[in-house]
């Protein structure tokens, strides 16, 4: 069996680490894993991108979920796992964090924006689907919750949506390209809290492995790629990472 000390040695020996995070790192901050049994998507239908664009009732429901705090993103704080990742970045040991999460907790733990590659976008702010202008969640809260006004872009009047990648929406090309570049440049690919079942995201550890990098996986449960990993720890991420990263 591997131990956090083995992971520490692996990190020490690495020249350039890329960290890859999934829902499991944020469950320790109280954010539910949407895809797990009993998770949000087993109780509530996701809203597909085309339906959001097409149907005002769907948009209204989407905004209701945002402002009801259904996902519990609002008010969540980074945990020991996020802080350990931030230390790896600050030490120059890790070059970037590729994340499937939309909760902004890597940035909140002090990782600079340009070191976080968000494959599924970010739920902590709003973006215009037409002109790309950023708006804040608070900009539209009162008009929506008090008067039922559906948010629209202040610059162009276009449709706005949280900056997440919805079901049925194309993956963000620039972020995917950067993730690939980073994956191919690392010699240790460290997975934290992903069961590695959602593609194309789960393709990155495979790509790293094929390119000769070592692969380490820390996850509560077994993952699809445990068999090809150099190190696997089925344990809480905060605990492992606090022990492995000084």
**Using CB under 5 A, which of 8, 40, 76, 156 touches Zn ion?**
156
Question: Judged by CB under 5 A, does residue 61 bind Zn ion?
Answer: no
82 counts as catalytic = no
Question: Judged by CB under 5 A, does residue 153 bind Zn ion?
Answer: yes
CB of 160 to Zn ion, least distance (A): 7
Segment contacting Zn ion by CB under 5 A, of 15-23, 43-51, 153-161, 234-242: 153-161
- The answer, yes or no, to whether the previous bond of 200 is cis (omega within 30 of 0) is yes
Question: Judged by CB under 5 A, does residue 228 bind Zn ion?
Answer: no
As a whole number of angstroms, the distance between CA 71 and CA 211 comes to: 36
User: Binding to Zn ion (CB under 5 A): which residues in 72-131?
Assistant: 128, 130-131
Nearer to Zn ion, 76 or 133 (CB): 133
8 Å CB contact between 98 and 18: yes
Active-site residue, selected from the candidate residues 82, 106, 120, 135: 120
Q: Return the DSSP state at 130.
A: T
As a whole number of angstroms, the distance between CA 34 and CA 41 comes to: 6
**φ, ψ for residue 231, nearest 5 deg:** -150, 135
Residue 107 vs residues 45, 111, 119, 135, 146: alpha-carbon distances, Å: 29, 5, 15, 18, 31
Nearer to Zn ion, 130 or 230 (CB): 130
* Residues classed as catalytic: 120
Binding region for Zn ion (CB under 5 A): 128, 130-131, 133, 153, 155-156, 158
């Amino acid at each position: 069996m591997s131990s956090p000390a083995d992971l520490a040695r692996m990190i020490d020996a690495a020249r350039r680490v890329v960290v890859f995070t999934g829902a499991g790192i944020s469950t320790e901050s109280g954010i539910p894993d949407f895809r797990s049994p009993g998770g949000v998507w087993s109780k509530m239908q996701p809203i597909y991108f085309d339906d959001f664009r097409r149907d005002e009732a769907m948009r209204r429901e989407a905004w209701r979920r945002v402002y009801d705090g259904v996902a519990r993103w609002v008010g969540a704080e980074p945990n020991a796992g996020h802080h350990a990742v931030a230390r790896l970045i600050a030490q120059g040991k890790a070059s970037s964090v590729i994340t499937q999460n939309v909760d902004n907790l890597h940035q909140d733990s002090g990782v600079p924006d340009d070191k976080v590659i968000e494959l599924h976008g970010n739920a902590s702010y709003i973006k215009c689907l037409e002109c790309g202008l950023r708006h804040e969640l608070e900009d539209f809260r009162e008009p929506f919750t008090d008067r039922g006004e559906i948010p629209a872009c202040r610059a162009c009047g276009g449709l706005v949506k949280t900056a997440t990648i919805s079901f049925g929406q194309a993956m963000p090309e620039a972020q995917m390209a950067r993730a690939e570049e980073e994956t191919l440049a690392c010699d240790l690919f460290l997975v934290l809290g992903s069961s590695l079942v959602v593609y194309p995201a789960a393709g990155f550890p495979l790509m790293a492995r094929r390119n000769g990098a070592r692969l380490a996986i820390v996850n509560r449960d077994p993952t699809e790629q445990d068999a090809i990993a150099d190190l696997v720890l089925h344990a809480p991420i905060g605990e492992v990472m606090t022990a492995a990263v000084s």
